[in-house]
Structure formats: C-alpha cells, structure tokens
C-alpha cells in the first residue's frame, strides 16, 4: 500500500511538472501577443472583455448543469463552470486533442457512467453547434446583400461553414438516437470484418453505442428542457459575440451592432469546420478577412487579440486554477497517507 501511495504521489508531481512545461511551450507561442495587447489596453476595455468572458463561463455552467442533472442530481452550475475551464485548459495544452476526453473524464469523476458522460458530452456539443448555426444563419441573412455587392466570394465560405456544421449536428443526433442506423452499421461491419478480434471489438463498441443511445434518449425526452438548453446556449454565445462590438465601438462609433454580431457569428461557424489545432489559425484568418474592411487592420488585430483572451486564455486560466487546486488536494492527501503508512510500518 505504501508503495502504491508513493507511486501516485510521484505521478501527480510529475503531472504538475509536465503541465508547467507545456504551459511554457504553448504560452510562448500562443499567449505572448495576447498579453502584450492586454498591457496596452485601457482598464475599462479590459474590464468589459473579462466581464463578458466570465459571464459566458457562468452561463456555460448553467447549460452543462441542465444537461447533466438527470444523471447526477448534485451536479451544480459551479461544477459546470469548472468543467468548462477544465476542458479549455486541456484543449490548450493538448492543442485540441484532449478536449472531449477531458470532458467525459470530468463527468466520470462526478459519478457518471462512461456512456452517460459520452451522452452528455455529445448533447453539449450538439447544442453549442446548433446555437452557433442559428447565429450564423441569422448573420448571413442580415448581411447577404452587403456581402453580395462587396465581397461575394465570402458567401460561399460562410455557406460551407453553415452546411458542414448542420451536417455535424444531424450526424451526431442520428448516431446517438437512431436504433435503425446502429443496427445497419453493425450488419455492415459483420459482413465486412471476419476477424474474431475485430468483431469482438465491434461488439463491445456496439454495447457502448447502445448505452449511449439510452443515455441520449433520457436527456432529449423532455422537450421543454431541450428548448431551455437551446435558449441558454444562445444566451451564453451572445456574450462572446458582443466582445468585438464592445471593443471596436469605442474606436469606431459608426460601427453597426448587428453588422458586428453577424460577422463574428460567420467567423465562428466557418473557423469551426476548418481543421487546425484547437481552432488556432483558421479563426484568426477569417476574423481578419471579415473585420479588416470594417475597421482597418490595426484595430481588427487589437480586437482579435482581446477576443482570443476572453474566449481562449481566460477559460484556460480558470481551468489552470481548478487543475492546480485539484492536484494540490490530491498531493496533500497522498502525503498524509504516505506518512500514516510510514508511521504504522
């Protein structure tokens, strides 16, 4: 037992070391320009940016609570708030690779089964993308005439983002809810794959998908609640989408609110379907593409860096605090256990 306690202690300390190394490596490449921009930003603008980002995180906690509470009644808005930060933290240090895994693992730590955690994660993703899709369609309709006359080539780009996002939402809903699709996929796999090892793996996957479908059905059977989740998802996104206008209006009073809201909604839906690590790179490119003709390159770049701070760095910092406090508690507990076992030996 003492050896196991020491091993867990060593692993947690090693994990902290790895985290700090990754933060230094990732931060040097991704955060440097953002923090330089923060240093030259007025306190009022910085307060607004932080406030809007924080309000998004609070409402994200509400959305997650609504989705998760059928499987964990003790799951609070506070848990959802720190889930969002934790997921953002692992998204940054793994360049997007650990995003979904970290969310499922968080639910498991709160007592959910694997299939329940996956079901909650899938619905969470679906509702986020549905809200993004709603804003993007609204934005394209409002700005279609303007884009058609000024930048018609951008219409195809935005339509691509809208169509792909819609396909993702529909595909997730079908995979998680359709028994016919599940049976069809299994029949196809049984005909194509003859290896016993592969078929055993497929059978196990089938059981997981069946459990996932049951979990998903448990959540979506309450249509009133689904509408509430959808409305809260729209509301939370509003605070992120308000950020460019809140920054740029101070420098460009003639900037139209609906134009800014429409453009950021089109940026998000398009950048979300271009495969780059954690969305970094594609978002910046499309943001500059759409906003630069409105307010010029310098102000566009400044607002972009502040937007990235509020939506990318701030959630990461919340998650960093959560992970460090969690590891501190684990290490303290393991140290007490090691000392206790040493005294008893």
How far is it, in rounded angstroms, from Cα 159 to Cα 63? 27
Q: What whole-number distance in Å separates Cα of residue 144 and Cα of residue 154? A: 10
Cα Rg of the chain, angstroms: 23
Instruction: Give the pLDDT of residue 287.
Output: 93
**pLDDT for res 201:** 65
Total Cβ atoms within 10 A of residue 274: 16
Residue 262 region by backbone torsions, left for phi larger than 0, else alpha for psi between -120 and 50, else beta:
alpha
Asked if 233 contacts 89 with a C-beta cutoff of 8 angstroms, the reply is no
pLDDT by residue, tens only, the chain of 345 residues? 445 656 666 676 676 666 666 666 666 566 778 888 888 889 999 999 999 999 999 999 999 999 998 888 889 999 999 999 999 988 888 877 778 888 988 999 888 888 788 888 888 998 999 999 999 999 999 999 999 998 888 899 999 999 999 998 888 787 777 767 666 766 776 677 667 666 666 666 666 666 667 777 777 777 888 899 999 999 999 999 999 999 999 889 999 999 999 999 999 999 888 765 544 578 888 999 899 989 998 899 999 999 999 999 999 999 988 988 887 877 777 677 766 766 666
| 178: alpha, beta or left? (left if phi > 0; alpha if psi -120 to 50) | beta
**Token pair 């895994």 is at which residue?**
101
Whats the size of the chain, residue-wise? 345
Closest CA to 107 of 91, 128, 121: 121
Closest CA to 323 of 98, 159, 152: 98
Tell me what pLDDT residue 16 has.
Answer: 66
Encode 105-117: b = buried (16+ Cβ within 10 Å), e = exposed: ebbeebebeebbb
CA dihedral 230, 235, 240, 242 (to 10 degrees): 140
Which residue in 39, 40, 80 sits closest to 56, CA to CA?
80
Residue 272: name the closest of 311, 319, 223 by CA: 311
Domain count, the chain: 1
Contacts of 215 (CB under 8 A, 6+ apart): 71, 113, 115, 116, 118, 119, 120
Dihedral sign, Cα of residue 205, residue 211, residue 216, residue 221: positive
Q: What is the pTM of this model?
A: 0.86
**What residue numbers bound the domain in which 122 lies?**
2-344
DSSP character string of 299-316: HHHHHHHHHHIIIIIHHH
**35-72: burial string, b at 16+ Cβ within 10 Å, e else:** eebbeebeeebbebbeebbbbbbebbbbbbbbbbbbbb
State how far the Cα of 35 lies from the Cα of 174, in Å rounded to an integer: 42
């Amino acid at each position: 037992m003492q050896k196991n306690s020491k091993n867990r202690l060593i692993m947690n300390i090693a994990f902290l070391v790895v985290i700090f190394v990754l933060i230094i490596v990732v931060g040097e490449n991704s955060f440097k320009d953002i923090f330089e921009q923060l240093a030259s930003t007025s306190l009022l603008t910085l307060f607004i940016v932080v406030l809007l980002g924080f309000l998004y995180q609070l409402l994200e906690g509400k959305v997650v609570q609504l989705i998760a509470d059928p499987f964990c009644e003790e799951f609070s808005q506070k848990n959802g708030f720190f889930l969002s930060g934790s997921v953002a933290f692992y998204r940054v240090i793994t360049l997007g690779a650990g995003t979904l895994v970290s969310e499922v693992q968080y639910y498991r730590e709160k007592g959910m089964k694997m299939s329940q955690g996956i079901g909650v994660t899938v619905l969470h993703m679906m509702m986020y993308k549905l809200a993004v899709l709603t804003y993007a369609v609204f934005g394209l309709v409002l700005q279609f005439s303007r884009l058609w006359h000024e930048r018609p080539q951008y219409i195809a780009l935005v339509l691509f983002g809208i169509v792909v996002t819609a396909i993702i939402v529909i595909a997730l809903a079908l995979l998680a809810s359709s028994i016919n699709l599940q049976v069809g996929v299994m029949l196809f796999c049984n005909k194509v794959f003859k290896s016993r090892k592969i078929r055993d793996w497929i059978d196990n996957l089938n059981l997981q998908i069946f459990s996932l479908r049951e979990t998903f059905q448990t959540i979506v059977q309450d249509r009133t609640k689904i509408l509430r989740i959808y409305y809260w998802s729209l509301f939370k996104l509003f605070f992120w989408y308000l950020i460019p206008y809140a920054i740029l209006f101070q420098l460009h009073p003639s900037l139209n609110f609906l134009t800014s809201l429409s453009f950021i909604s089109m940026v998000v839906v398009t950048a979300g379907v271009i495969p780059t690590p954690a969305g970094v790179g594609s978002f910046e490119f499309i943001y500059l593409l759409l906003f630069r003709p409105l307010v010029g390159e310098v102000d566009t770049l400044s607002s972009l860096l502040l937007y990235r701070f509020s939506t990318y760095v701030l959630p990461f910092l919340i998650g960093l605090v959560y992970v460090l406090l969690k590891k501190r508690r684990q290490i303290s507990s393991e140290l007490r256990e090691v000392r206790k076992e040493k005294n008893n030996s």
